[in-house]
Amino acid sequence: MYSSIFINLTFAGYFLASIVYSISLFVNKRQVYISAVTLYILGFVFNTAAIIGRWSEGTRPPFSNMYESLLLLAWAIALVYLGINLIYRIRPLGVFAAFASLISLGYTSLLDSSIEPLMPALQSNWLTIHVVALFISYAAFTVSYVAAVAYLIKRKGIDMGLAIYSICLAVVGPTLIFALARGGLLGRFTQSTGWIILLGFINLAISLVLWAPLYFVIKATKIEKHMPEESLLDSVVYKSIAFGFPFFVFGTIAGAVWANKAWGRYWGWDPKETWSFITLLVYAIYLHLRYLKGWKGRSANLFSIVGFLVVIITFIGVNYIISGLHSYAE
């Protein structure tokens, strides 16, 4: 019961943090910024309490379904952002990170919160290792995305437009999927090539409709003036991917070893496995080009945004749209 109170407090913390962070962009005062960080940290503490509470209520690690994953993601984003902020001092990115935590937590209200017992295959210590490693990497990729978006917004013009469109895609896609799943309307989309492609187009279209008002609001606020230097943002994009990538590989390998223990095969081209493989390839390409060719700037950051959209497909899309071994995560 306590965990639901803590979730409400977490929600309040992230919500207020998002608002005060937004204000701090325009009122360049230290006190405003400090209260924003304090609220974000407070939300993070409540989020921790909510996870621990759910763990003790369910007497099992709370990492088994979409509701619990999103609760963990909100937590991991706060953790990774606050950690990276300690090193790089990227205060103005706080507004994006706090919103990302808030959105991740907000999605949970669309989902079933009941604590279900674990099915046999999930009863393993690998569950915690696999999930926690992957969510640290997801959070690092989210921070890289946030920095890439800030970078493109700072460049204004068409780049700002693309950045905002990517935000629309990242928010509309999961919302659409959760809403369809909640209404019990997702059945026909599952494993049907035509419907999967149609759903992609619906997401592109709805995002385009939402894009226009959001673009003009953000443009009017002249938010780009308050963003950090382009070179700093560029470095945050690279470093958070470089930080998250080993965690992602480790988490995927932990999943492979676990699968071998449960089902007798470490790799089976299950859709979830395949999409994590694709994610791995996309970020591997980014890291190679960065390392060997010094790939920086506009196109590199656009590519990292594509990488993050692939992460969203891996994390949410696959579970609902393409059935497979991870479908229990619904």
Quick check: 309 binds other proteins (CB under 8 A)?
A: no
Per-residue DSSP letter, 60 = S
CB of 219 to other proteins, least distance (A): 34
**Among the candidate windows 6-14, 112-120, 173-181, 203-211, which touches other proteins by CB under 8 A?**
112-120
Quick check: 284 binds other proteins (CB under 8 A)?
A: yes
Residues 6+ apart with CB under 8 A from 301: 148, 151, 152, 233, 234, 237
Q: What gap in Å lies between CA 77 and CA 44, rounded to an integer? A: 9
Quick check: 119 binds other proteins (CB under 8 A)?
A: yes
Task: Identify which of residues 45 and 256 has a Cβ nearer to other proteins in the complex.
Answer: 256
Q: Give the C-alpha distances (Å, rounded to integers) separating 156 from 219, 220, 300.
A: 8, 12, 17
**Among the candidate windows 147-155, 201-209, 223-231, 288-296, which touches other proteins by CB under 8 A?**
288-296
Ramachandran region of residue 295, left (φ > 0), alpha (ψ -120 to 50) or beta? beta
Sign of the four-CA dihedral 86, 90, 95, 96: negative
Quick check: 283 binds other proteins (CB under 8 A)?
A: no
Report whether 48 contacts 108 (CB < 8 A): no
Token readout for 173 is 């896609």
CB-based burial of residue 90 (10 Å sphere; 0-12 exposed, 13-18 middle, 19+ buried)? buried
The residue within the footprint of other proteins, chosen from 214, 262, 302, 309 (CB under 8 A), is: 262
The residue within the footprint of other proteins, chosen from 9, 52, 278, 325 (CB under 8 A), is: 278
Quick check: 260 binds other proteins (CB under 8 A)?
A: yes
Task: Identify which of residues 215 and 277 has a Cβ nearer to other proteins in the complex.
Answer: 277
CB-based burial of residue 98 (10 Å sphere; 0-12 exposed, 13-18 middle, 19+ buried)? buried
Task: Identify which of residues 116 and 229 has a Cβ nearer to other proteins in the complex.
Answer: 116
DSSP string computed for 180-226: HHHTT--GGGTT-HHHHHHHHHHHHHHHHHHHHHHHHHHHHHTGGGG
Quick check: 86 binds other proteins (CB under 8 A)?
A: no
**Among the candidate windows 36-44, 97-105, 165-173, 242-250, which touches other proteins by CB under 8 A?**
242-250
Measured torsion, CA atoms of residues 86, 90, 91, 95, in degrees rounded to the nearest 10: -110
**Among the candidate windows 16-24, 64-72, 213-221, 249-257, which touches other proteins by CB under 8 A?**
249-257
The residue within the footprint of other proteins, chosen from 39, 73, 233, 282 (CB under 8 A), is: 282
CB of 321 to other proteins, least distance (A): 9
**φ, ψ (nearest 5 deg) of residue 228:** -65, 175
Ramachandran region of residue 184, left (φ > 0), alpha (ψ -120 to 50) or beta? left
Q: What gap in Å lies between CA 162 and CA 158, rounded to an integer? A: 6
**Among the candidate windows 26-34, 55-63, 253-261, 297-305, which touches other proteins by CB under 8 A?**
253-261
**Among the candidate windows 4-12, 73-81, 146-154, 268-276, which touches other proteins by CB under 8 A?**
268-276
Quick check: 206 binds other proteins (CB under 8 A)?
A: no
The residue within the footprint of other proteins, chosen from 26, 27, 117, 187 (CB under 8 A), is: 117
The residue within the footprint of other proteins, chosen from 41, 45, 196, 206 (CB under 8 A), is: 196
- Report the interface residues with other proteins, using CB under 8 A: 116-117, 119-121, 123-124, 191-193, 196-197, 242-243, 245-246, 249-250, 253, 256-258, 260-267, 269, 271, 274-275, 277-278, 281-282, 284-285, 288-289, 292-293, 318, 322
